[in-house]
Amino acid sequence: MTKSRKDNKGRVLRKGETQRSCDGKYVYTYTDPEGKRRSIYSKDIMELREREEKLIKDQLDGLDTYVAGSATVNFVFDRYISTKSELRGTTMRNYKYMYDRFIRNGFGKKKIAAIKFSDVLQFYQHLLKEKEMQINTLETIHTVLHPTFQLAVRDDIIRNNPSDGVMAQIKKQPGRNHGVRHALTLEQQRAFINYIESNPTYYRWTSLFKFLLGTGCRIGEAIGIRWEDVNFEKRVISINHSLVYYSREFKEHPMCTFSISLPKTEAGIRSIPMMDAVYDALRAELADQQENGFNETEIDGMKGFIFMNRFGYVHNPQSINRAIKRIYESYNAEEVVNASKQHREPVLIPHFSCHHLRHTFCSRFCENETNLKVIQSIMGHANIETTMDIYAEVTDAKKQEAIENLAHKLDVF
């Protein structure tokens, strides 16, 4: 018979428990789900055992439940996201925010082993119809759900990924907006800028929108650009960081704040030559700030930001999108009246956001440049396929014009 181990007070120690002779502390040693040996300590044996029981319960509720296939989607997502140490902080926060807002309190409570393809399809359709979600936002949801299911497949918890092919099915539906961001036409682009420049209410937005339309920068890169990133002598702009606006994780008092981040991808670190319109806009902005004061905002040790709102602080993307909406609505209202008086068709500006300006720049670029690697470098696309997709969209739109030009030049019919 094995002799029972006891502490210095004569109490029998359980399996895994020991008492150190040096200081009398109790130790419980166990193996975690990853196979690593770990220990917890306490001066009191009863406190140690309370912690033991909680630890065992957590392991049973966690790993054993997972292996048994009765874990929820929430459990697997939390497990998945904890492994993504390579994600940028802003990307991680965005994924968690999207998951918590749209999945965790509903679909996320389902048992992962019971979910079928049709369940995911119905959930996505619910988000599109009932929540009026845009297809681009749904793609972000898919970006976090698909690898969550894939982790369960790789861990042999489920046989197949039920989200495979769901987005393709969604996009097959007739009348569905596939999320393509259409660029402004050259006529709409000119109308937008001309209206801002000549309007006493909106003219202060001129330099920012010329910068966006003349560089193709992402909105975070644009609002985070500093005077030291601009080389007027060489006429080059250095894109080396991004300014992000995100919700901080405070349960009782959630709040939004700015933070400095690297560009979206490594390819995002780049130099962009200044075209004349951008050069002149930045020179005009510099002259104005030399007279009226510079942006004094400091974020994560950085300051000297170029663009600022009427309060002297950096812009946030939502405010810029709201300004865009006010501008094109005001322009359209005036254009309808002017076109009627002049007996012509109005040039109306459609709904668009900050990112459409980046897409518009890229479209203009593709219309005038055939070297895709040059376009990719200026845009900061990590994948050449992204550049090729926009290039293909632009060239498709130019096909009719090309055929008409060919027919005119040949003059043989």
| Cα–Cα distance measured from residue 113 to residue 66, given in angstroms and rounded to the nearest whole number | 10
In a domain, 4, yes or no: no
What is the crossing angle of helices 384-410 and 372-379, to 10°? Answer: 130
| Cα–Cα distance measured from residue 358 to residue 386, given in angstroms and rounded to the nearest whole number | 13
Q: What share of the chain is helix, strand, coil (3-state, %, to 5)?
A: 55, 10, 35
Considering the domain architecture, whether residues 252 and 341 belong to the same structural domain is answered as yes
Query: What's the pLDDT score for residue 354?
Result: 92
Considering the domain architecture, whether residues 394 and 354 belong to the same structural domain is answered as yes
| Cα–Cα distance measured from residue 196 to residue 204, given in angstroms and rounded to the nearest whole number | 8
Considering the domain architecture, whether residues 56 and 94 belong to the same structural domain is answered as no
Residue type, 65: T
Residues sharing a CB contact under 8 Å with residue 246, sequence separation 6 or more, in sequence order: 90, 93, 94, 97, 256, 257, 259
In a domain, 1, yes or no: no
CATH code of the domain containing 353: 1.10.443.10
Query: What's the pLDDT score for residue 79?
Result: 87
Considering the domain architecture, whether residues 160 and 106 belong to the same structural domain is answered as yes
Query: What's the pLDDT score for residue 158?
Result: 87
* Structural domain that includes position 344: 186-294+318-399
Considering the domain architecture, whether residues 21 and 105 belong to the same structural domain is answered as no
Query: What's the pLDDT score for residue 66?
Result: 63
In a domain, 150, yes or no: yes
Q: Where a domain ends, among 172, 197, 213?
A: 172
Q: Where a domain ends, among 142, 172, 202?
A: 172
Q: Which tens digits make up the pLDDT trace of 55-65?
A: 776 665 555 55
Considering the domain architecture, whether residues 95 and 119 belong to the same structural domain is answered as yes
Query: What's the pLDDT score for residue 227?
Result: 97
CATH code of the domain containing 130: 1.10.150
DSSP per-residue string spanning 125-162: HHHHHTS---HHHHHHHHHHHHHHHHHHHHTTSSSS-T
Confidence (pTM): 0.66
Considering the domain architecture, whether residues 240 and 385 belong to the same structural domain is answered as yes
Query: What's the pLDDT score for residue 102?
Result: 93
Chunked mean pLDDT (size 10), the chain, 413 residues: 75 89 89 71 90 71 59 90 79 85 93 93 92 85 94 88 91 58 88 96 96 95 96 96 72 68 79 96 96 92 94 92 95 94 93 92 90 92 84 74 71 56
In a domain, 103, yes or no: yes
Considering the domain architecture, whether residues 322 and 258 belong to the same structural domain is answered as yes
Query: What's the pLDDT score for residue 178?
Result: 47
Considering the domain architecture, whether residues 49 and 98 belong to the same structural domain is answered as no
Considering the domain architecture, whether residues 341 and 266 belong to the same structural domain is answered as yes
Considering the domain architecture, whether residues 94 and 48 belong to the same structural domain is answered as no
Considering the domain architecture, whether residues 114 and 200 belong to the same structural domain is answered as no
Query: What's the pLDDT score for residue 71?
Result: 84
Query: What's the pLDDT score for residue 85?
Result: 77
In a domain, 8, yes or no: no
In a domain, 275, yes or no: yes
| Cα–Cα distance measured from residue 82 to residue 77, given in angstroms and rounded to the nearest whole number | 8
In a domain, 299, yes or no: no
Query: What's the pLDDT score for residue 207?
Result: 97
Q: Where a domain ends, among 67, 99, 126?
A: 67
In a domain, 2, yes or no: no
Query: What's the pLDDT score for residue 250?
Result: 46
Count how many domains the chain has: 3
